[in-house]
């Protein structure tokens, strides 16, 4: 290698495909990527079904699915072919034009959402953009006397400024204040607090039917129907954030369609992303009925990439594969199997969620250590807090794959407990 010229800051950048070790890639990562995610756990190079491989050749069972994104697992043939076929046919057009996949996906989402005539879809590229659109919708339902937007403690709605205003976690919000105003956070799951807070000054109530980032916390039974009733009574919009819980993950197309609340709840708007494109970036805001769908008028919102032919073709292919594979029923069944298995594992103190969006608590602050121990044992999951682990695997996860995790889990938790008590004994921060 040549000596760099004096004052030269040239960095030798090997081609992305060359066979470097994970450690070599990570040192380049640290030198070139903004440090918002900390140090990545592994450098992943390939995926197939529910498995991924790292740069050092190790295989992992992916029980996180890119955080509830890879609904069809990795390199699913139907998704791969839809994306490559659409790219080879018509890849991008401006929003002065439309394309058949965009229209077909909008129609399909409205039908899955059981949306009434007059309902509409706005496509985005991510979850947070879907929430930005929802926030603007709420502002369009505002007036001088109606300006409050209610969300819940523990809520996660994204990282852009409007979505961040809806998100409750101080560590995410405070560095970026002032945020768009008018948002208040109510205690989670408290129906009385909700009813007391909603009056004619409320423009919208924004809820996750299942709080994902808060450790998979479903709203208690009756909460959504109470929210529907009180928002109807006061002319506030009910906006459901199904970015994580939607697209079949809980065993229903959308978590708010679960049995208990079936008749009661049709929202005014719903946000989607994560699983919608099976790994291809796409999000959506669905508005229910004529009146709500007309709140944002021509010119008031837009996007360059949102609703592009490739992303919408990916969405259609994902939904088609979920339907033809019976994957909602499958997710519900494998989810129950996982729940039952988790309940037998020593140290697991609580299990929440349904289908393949599950959170479970352990009997100490060692959940982050358990993520590390699981990785060493060949399993990917994540912790949403010191005592809470989350599973959001591909909806194609087979029962024997779930079983391999359940068999490994007691030893993983034991390793984590030991590692955690050793670090705690050394006075490391928890």
Active-site amino acid positions: 156, 241, 274
- Positive or negative, the Cα torsion across 121, 270, 289, 302? negative
| 109 part of the interface to ligand PLP, by CB under 6 A | no
The CA-CA-CA angle for residues 380, 382, 387, to 5°, reads 135
Binding to ligand PLP (CB under 6 A): which residues in 206-245?
A: 208, 212-213, 241, 243-244
Beta carbon nearer to ligand PLP, 124 or 415: 124
Neighbouring CB atoms inside 10 A of 260's CB total 11
Smallest distance from ligand PLP to CB 156, Å: 5
Task: Please identify, using beta-carbon distances, which residue of 60 and 156 lies nearer to ligand PLP.
Answer: 156
Cα separation, 292 vs 136, whole angstroms: 12
The rounded distance, in Å, linking the Cα atoms of 144 and 286 is 26
The CB-of-376 to ligand PLP minimum distance in angstroms stands at 27
How many CB atoms lie under 10 A from the CB of residue 318? 29
Q: Is 328 in the site for ligand PLP (CB under 6 A)?
A: no
Under the criterion CB under 6 A, does residue 134 sit at the interface with ligand PLP? no
- Which listed range, 92-100, 123-131, 142-150, 192-200, lies at the site for ligand PLP (CB under 6 A)? 123-131
Does 279 interact with ligand PLP (rule: CB under 6 A)?
Answer: no
Strands of 348-354's sheet, edge to edge?
348-354, 357-362, 388-391, 382-385
- Please report whether residue 273 would count as binding ligand PLP according to CB under 6 A: yes
Q: Does 126 bind ligand PLP (CB under 6 A)?
A: yes
Is residue 270 involved in binding ligand PLP (CB under 6 A)?
no
Cβ nearer to ligand PLP, comparing 341 with 355: 355
Measure the CA–CA gap between 213 and 351, rounded to whole angstroms: 15
Q: Taking the complex as a whole, how short is the minimal distance between the CB of residue 129 and ligand PLP, in angstroms?
A: 7
Give the side-chain half-sphere CA count within 13 A for 259: 3
Q: What is the DSSP string of 370-394?
A: HHHHHHHTTEE-EEEETTEEEE---
> Other CB atoms closer than 10 Å to residue 242's CB: what's the count?
32
Scanning 126-134, 183-191, 225-233, 418-426 for contacts with ligand PLP by CB under 6 A, the matching segment is 126-134
Question: Among the candidate windows 93-101, 155-163, 196-204, 295-303, which touches ligand PLP by CB under 6 A?
Answer: 155-163
Q: Which residue is nearest to ligand PLP (CB)?
A: 127
261 sits near ligand PLP (criterion: CB under 6 A): no
- Pairing between strand 202-207 and 210-211? unpaired
Residue 202 main-chain phi, psi, to 5 deg: -95, 125
Tell me how far, at minimum, the Cβ of 200 lies from ligand PLP, in Å: 27
CA distance 182 to 147: 6
Cβ neighbours, 10 Å, residue 407: 11
According to DSSP, the residues that pair with 61 across neighbouring strands are 51, 379
In angstroms, the CA 60 to CA 258 distance is: 32
| Residue with Cβ nearer ligand PLP (373 or 392) | 392
Verify binding: residue 127, ligand PLP, rule CB under 6 A. yes
The yes or no reply on residue 287 touching ligand PLP (CB under 6 A) is no
- CB of 55 or CB of 282, closer to ligand PLP: 282
Query: What SS3 string covers 239-271?
Result: EEECCCCCCCCCCCCCHHHCHHHCCCCCCCEEE
Q: Is 131 in the site for ligand PLP (CB under 6 A)?
A: yes
Nearest CB to ligand PLP, comparing residues 146 and 274: 274
Nearest approach in angstroms of CB 185 to ligand PLP is 15
Residues 341-380 that bind ligand PLP (CB under 6 A): none
Asked if 157 touches ligand PLP (CB under 6 A), the answer is yes
Which stretches of the chain bind ligand PLP, using CB under 6 A? 126-128, 131, 156-158, 208, 212-213, 241, 243-244, 273-274
């Amino acid at each position: 290698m040549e000596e760099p010229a004096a004052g030269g800051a040239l960095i030798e950048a090997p081609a992305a495909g060359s066979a470097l070790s994970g450690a070599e890639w990570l040192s380049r990562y640290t030198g070139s990527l903004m440090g918002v995610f900390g140090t990545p756990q592994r450098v992943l190079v390939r995926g197939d079904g529910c498995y991924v491989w790292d740069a050092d050749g190790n295989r992992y069972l992916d029980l996180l699915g890119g955080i509830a994104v890879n609904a069809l697992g990795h390199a699913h043939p139907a998704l791969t072919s839809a994306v490559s076929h659409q790219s080879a046919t018509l890849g991008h057009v401006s929003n002065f034009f439309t394309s058949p996949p965009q229209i077909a996906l909008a129609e399909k989402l409205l039908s899955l959402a059981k949306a009434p005539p007059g309902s509409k879809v706005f496509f985005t590229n991510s979850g947070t953009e879907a929430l930005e659109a929802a926030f603007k919708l709420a502002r369009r339902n505002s007036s001088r006397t109606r300006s409050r937007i209610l969300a819940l403690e523990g809520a996660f709605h994204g990282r852009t400024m409007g979505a961040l205003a809806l998100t409750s976690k101080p560590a995410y919000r405070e560095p970026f204040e002032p945020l768009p105003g008018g948002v208040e956070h109510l205690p989670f799951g408290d129906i009385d607090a909700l009813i007391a807070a909603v009056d004619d000054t409320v423009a919208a109530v924004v809820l996750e039917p299942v709080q994902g980032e808060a450790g998979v916390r479903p709203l208690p039974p009756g909460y959504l129907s109470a929210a529907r009733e009180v928002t109807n009574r006061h002319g506030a919009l009910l906006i459901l954030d199904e970015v994580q819980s939607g697209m079949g993950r809980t065993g229903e197309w959308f978590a708010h369609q679960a049995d208990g609340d079936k008749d009661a709840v049709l929202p005014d708007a719903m946000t989607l992303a994560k699983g919608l494109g099976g790994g291809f970036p796409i999000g959506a805001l669905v508005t229910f009925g004529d009146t709500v769908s007309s709140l944002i008028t021509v010119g008031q919102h837009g996007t360059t990439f949102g609703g592009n032919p490739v992303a919408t073709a990916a969405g259609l292919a994902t939904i088609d594969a979920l339907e033809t594979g019976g994957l909602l029923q499958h997710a519900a069944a494998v989810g129950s199997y996982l729940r039952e298995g988790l309940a037998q594992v020593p140290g697991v103190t609580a299990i929440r969620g349904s289908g393949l969006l599950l959170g479970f608590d352990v009997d100490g602050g060692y959940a982050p250590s358990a993520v590390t121990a699981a990785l060493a044992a060949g399993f990917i999951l994540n912790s949403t807090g010191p005592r809470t682990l989350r599973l959001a695997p591909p909806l194609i996860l087979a029962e024997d794959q779930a079983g391999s995790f359940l068999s490994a889990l007691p030893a993983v938790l034991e390793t984590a407990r030991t590692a955690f008590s050793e670090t705690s004994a050394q006075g490391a921060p928890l």
